């Protein structure tokens, strides 16, 4: 009991820490960060993540069609496949998988960079030079993640749907039928809902990444530990919020 | 300029600084000496608000800083500079960007004007050729000097130096001592210098404070320290060079 209790308390304390950091960051947003910093972070994020997102979503779209096509054809529902795949990708798989990939790639990089700055006293140096570390480091990363994640999801959705189409061809479903079923079944909310999710996942990745960076323990070991924790926690948070957001957006 | 009144600092129950009373006058240079782990760096970090005291008051320019929030602290920090013991250079920026950081962030100077100041400060520490280097391409002593240039670039009123000349060769260490003296005499800077080097302390400091296990056990000008009848002081100033 005591172990479970202390575990839950620890979790709550950490989540409280995330929320406090988010509030601090929003407070710092009042002073616009330099555009240059935000753009640099966005470039980082896009270049780092787009290739993996593309690959992940291509295979996901392919495998989705692979698993559904045979069954659907058996029930004479081949004309729905394009729609089903695209809805699944747009609503759930696109944002979630992009979020997970970005957490592993970008979240880890953010934590590693900031925790290294922490243990080498660069954060202290920022403070000494009257520069708020949250305003200088966290705000640009938060903005970059909030903007870039939805963009990545747009690419991911298109590529996922394209992957589905490749396999559909293989099952003798014509391109026309695939496109038409997308046209008939998919509404724009399937798409925009996923993008709203992506904005939240961007916030999660940036805040959790920065949190573990700023509160890293000393030493090189501290950097490694912080990075692992950041990725694990961001992924858990993404799945949790995804469930929650799906309930709100798609009920 | 800097006044510490009954300052205590503990890290999780462990008392690092005990009942420190210290004041540094405007334009004065105070050297802090003491064995490794005696709390010298902690004392500097308290003075610039990087750490908060467990109890006691810290006054910088007629403001009690230990209860200020970060935004108020930043106003005071604009008039202060610090050289970190391990340099703490921003490793994603070039030497020039490091030195110009404060000016880029907090002044309206143009890039060209900042560049001129950067050149000036680099010349002072003898690193003109390394302007576009990244910190990881520099030796430890060179990083120290960049860190020093960064601290003086904003022309602060108060500079805190944490072992500015450790890890430098004797000639360069002497040069840095001269530079510290120069900033005091030419710019009227108030300085606190942590050092292990007694010769340097005698040369740059108006007064010297010795910390032993978190307490100030001796305080005064070079003469007073040299003639101290405290065994711990005598041991340090005679053996310090060898132990180091
Ligand atoms: N962040 C911290 N958390 C816990 N203990 C700390 C922390 N910083 C310093 N200490 C402890 O405070 C004591 C004094 O440390 P400090 O760095 O001030 O020593 P110092 O006099 O600068 O030593 P040195 O000459 O080796 O740099 C040490 O015992 C150290 O273990
Ligand atoms: Mg020290």
B94-113: b (≥16 Cβ within 10 Å) or e: bbbbbbbbbbeeeeeeeeee
Q: How confident is the prediction along chain B (244 residues), in pLDDT tens digits per residue?
A: 899 999 999 998 899 999 999 999 999 999 999 999 999 999 999 999 999 999 999 999 989 998 898 889 999 999 999 999 999 999 999 999 999 999 999 999 999 999 999 999 999 888 999 999 999 999 888 999 999 999 999 899 999 999 998 878 888 888 889 889 988 888 889 999 999 888 899 999 999 999 999 999 999 998 888 888 888 888 888 874 444 3
Torsion of CA B128, B131, B137, B142, to 10 degrees: 40
In a domain, B61, yes or no: no
Hey, of A33, A113, A125, which one would you mutate to test binding to chain B, going by the most B CBs within 10 A of its CB? A125
In a domain, B232, yes or no: yes
| φ and ψ at residue A201, rounded to 5 degrees | -65, -35
Chain B residues touching residue A121 (CB < 8 angstroms) = 84, 86, 88
CA A127: distance to chain centroid? 30
pLDDT tens digit string along B72-113?
A: 999 999 999 999 999 999 999 999 999 999 999 999 999 999
Give A37's pLDDT tier (boundaries 50, 70, 90).
confident
DSSP for B156-204, please give it.
Answer: -SEEEEESTTTTS-HHHHHHHHHHHHHHHHHH--EEEEE-S-HHHHHHH
Angle ∠(A99,A104,A109) on CA atoms, nearest 5: 115
> Quick count: other Cβ atoms within 10 Å of Cβ B91?
16
> Quick count: other Cβ atoms within 10 Å of Cβ B9?
22
* Ramachandran class of A226: left when φ > 0, alpha when ψ lies in -120 to 50, beta otherwise: alpha
Write the residue with the smallest CA distance to atom 31 of ligand 1. B37
Cβ contact B33:B198 at 8 Å? yes
* Rounded CA separation B59/B65 (Å): 6
In a domain, B41, yes or no: yes
pLDDT number for residue B241: 45
* Rounded CA separation A10/A70 (Å): 48
Q: Do A129 and B45 touch (CB under 8 A)?
A: no
Which residues, including other chains, have CB under 8 Å from residue B28's CB and lie 6 or more apart?
B1, B190, B191, B206, B207
* Domain residue limits at A92: 2-249
Give distance in angstroms: CA of B163 to centre of ligand 1.
Answer: 14
B41 within ligand 1 shell (Cβ under 6 A) = yes
pLDDT tens digit string along A114-166?
A: 999 999 999 999 999 999 999 999 999 999 999 999 999 999 999 999 999 99
In a domain, B60, yes or no: no
**Closest-CA distance of chain A to residue B217, Å:** 29
Which residues, including other chains, have CB under 8 Å from residue B137's CB and lie 6 or more apart?
none
Split into its structural domains, chain A has a count of 1
What CATH number is attached to the domain comprising B219? 3.40.50.300
* Domain residue limits at B227: 24-54+69-238
In a domain, B14, yes or no: no
How many residues would you count in chain A? 251
* Rounded CA separation A102/A52 (Å): 9
Split into its structural domains, chain B has a count of 1
């Amino acid at each position: 009991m005591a172990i479970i209790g202390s575990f839950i308390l620890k979790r709550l304390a950490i989540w409280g820490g995330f929320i406090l950091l988010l509030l601090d960051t929003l407070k710092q947003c009042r002073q616009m960060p330099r555009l240059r910093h935000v753009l640099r972070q966005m470039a980082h994020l896009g270049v780092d993540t787009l290739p993996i997102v593309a690959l992940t979503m291509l295979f996901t779209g392919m495998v989705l069609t692979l698993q559904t096509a045979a069954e659907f054809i058996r029930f004479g529902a081949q004309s729905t496949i394009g729609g089903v795949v695209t809805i699944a990708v747009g609503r759930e798989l696109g944002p979630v998988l992009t979020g997970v990939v970005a957490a592993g790639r970008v979240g880890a990089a953010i934590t590693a960079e900031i925790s290294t700055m922490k243990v080498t006293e660069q954060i202290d140096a920022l403070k000494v030079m009257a520069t708020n570390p949250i305003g200088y480091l966290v705000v640009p990363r938060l903005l970059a993640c909030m903007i870039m994640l939805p963009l990545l999801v747009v690419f991911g959705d298109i590529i996922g749907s394209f992957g589905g189409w490749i396999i559909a061809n293989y099952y003798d479903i014509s391109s026309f039928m695939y496109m038409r079923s997308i046209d008939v079944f998919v509404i724009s909310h399937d798409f925009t809902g996923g993008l709203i999710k992506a904005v939240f996942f961007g916030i999660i990745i940036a805040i959790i990444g920065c949190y573990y960076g700023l509160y890293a323990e000393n030493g090189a070991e501290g950097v490694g530990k912080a990075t692992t924790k950041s990725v694990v926690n961001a992924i858990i948070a993404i799945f949790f919020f995804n469930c929650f957001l799906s309930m709100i957006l798609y009920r | 300029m800097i006044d510490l009144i009954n300052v205590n600092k503990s890290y999780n129950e462990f008392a690092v600084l005990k009942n420190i009373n210290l004041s540094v006058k405007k334009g004065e240079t105070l050297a802090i000496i003491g064995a490794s782990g005696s709390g010298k760096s902690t004392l500097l970090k308290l003075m610039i608000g990087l750490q908060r005291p467990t109890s006691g008051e810290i006054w910088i320019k007629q403001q009690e800083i230990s209860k200020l929030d970060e935004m108020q602290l930043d106003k005071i920090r604009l008039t202060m500079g610090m050289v970190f013991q391990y340099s703490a250079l921003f490793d994603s920026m070039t030497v020039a960007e490091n030195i110009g950081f404060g000016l880029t962030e907090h002044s309206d100077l143009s890039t060209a004007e900042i560049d001129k100041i950067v050149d000036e400060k680099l010349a002072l520490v003898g690193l003109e050729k390394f302007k576009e280097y990244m910190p990881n391409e520099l030796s430890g002593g060179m990083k120290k000097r960049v860190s020093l240039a960064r601290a003086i670039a904003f022309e602060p009123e108060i500079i805190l130096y944490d072992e500015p000349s450790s890890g430098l060769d004797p000639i360069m260490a002497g040069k840095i001592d001269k530079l510290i003296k120069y900033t005091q005499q030419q710019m009227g800077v108030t300085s606190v210098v942590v050092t292990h080097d007694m010769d340097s302390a005698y040369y740059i400091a108006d007064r010297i404070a010795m910390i032993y296990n978190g307490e100030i056990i001796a305080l005064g000008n070079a003469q007073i320290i040299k003639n101290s009848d405290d065994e711990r002081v005598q041991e340090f100033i005679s053996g310090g060079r060898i132990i180091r």
